[in-house]
């Protein structure tokens, strides 16, 4: 994983690079590709996400989203990224959010991938990159994640990257209109991280693949 500072413009504040993928904050120029991928993947994504607002895919809603992400980035409260293949194809999105400092030094991981790119290992590579960012540049102690108990691809992704299953939370998040139980995962900076090479670089792997959001 590599982190680059691209300039003063907050729309291009950060770039993370992984194995065959890169991540950067969303910008208004991404709207067409983002809305097209989300619309094409609607049936695939809806069962795993909060209820989509009626205007979710509109340009106005995307502009609000970009503005909010920029504000959260500037305050180091949350780091939202779009995930791209090295040929610039938009694959999905990933957020390292709810950054807590003080005695906690932790953040929460969330992600989604477009249906055409699922089961091909891209999000695993993106998660590896952002874990390196969390423990490197952000100097966090812990990254947390959760997923639905029947979301096998997501549990396998988290465990492949090195997350440990730590608990079970009843009616934890409201997903697709229903309060759903979730498995709780955690990864510490001191944990073995088979997905990362020394120095935080993303390790090349060819055996990862299946992922749902």
The rounded average pLDDT for each run of 10 residues, N- to C-terminus, in the chain (213 residues) is 40 76 97 98 96 96 97 95 98 97 97 96 96 96 97 95 97 96 97 56 33 35
Q: What's the confidence (pLDDT) of residue 194? A: 65
Is position 138 within any domain?
yes
Within-domain flag for 207: no
- Structure confidence at residue 13 (pLDDT): 44
Residue 90 in any domain: the answer is yes
> The domain spanning residue 41 has which CATH number?
3.40.630.30
Residue 206 lies in a domain: no
On whether residue 211 sits in a domain, the answer given is: no
Model pLDDT, residue 199: 37
Total structural domains within the chain: 1
Give the pTM: 0.84
Range of the structural domain that residue 129 is part of: 2-200
- The answer to whether residue 27 is domain-embedded is yes
Is residue 66 included in any domain, yes or no? yes
Q: Could you give phi then psi for residue 10, rounded to 5 degrees?
A: -70, -20
Instruction: Say if 205 falls within a structural domain.
Output: no
- At 192 the pLDDT is 86
């Amino acid at each position: 994983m590599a982190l680059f500072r691209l300039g003063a413009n907050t729309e291009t504040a950060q770039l993370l690079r992984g194995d065959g993928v890169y991540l950067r904050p969303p910008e208004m120029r991404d709207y067409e590709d983002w809305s097209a991928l989300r619309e094409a993947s609607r049936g695939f994504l809806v069962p795993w996400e909060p209820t989509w607002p009626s205007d979710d895919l509109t340009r106005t809603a995307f502009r609000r989203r970009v503005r909010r992400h920029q504000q959260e980035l500037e305050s180091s409260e949350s780091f939202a990224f779009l995930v791209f293949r090295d040929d610039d194809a938009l694959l999905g999105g990933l957020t390292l959010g709810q950054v807590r400092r003080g005695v906690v030094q932790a953040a929460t991981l969330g992600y989604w991938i477009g249906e055409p790119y699922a089961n091909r290992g891209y999000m695993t590579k993106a998660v590896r990159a952002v874990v390196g960012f969390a423990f490197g540049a952000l100097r966090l102690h812990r990254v947390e994640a959760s997923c639905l108990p029947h979301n096998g691809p997501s549990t396998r992704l988290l465990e492949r990257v090195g997350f440990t299953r730590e608990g079970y939370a009843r009616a934890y998040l409201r997903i697709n209109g229903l309060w759903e139980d979730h498995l709780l995962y955690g990864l510490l900076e001191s944990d073995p991280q088979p997905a990362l090479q020394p120095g935080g670089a993303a390790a090349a792997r060819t055996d990862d693949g299946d992922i749902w959001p």
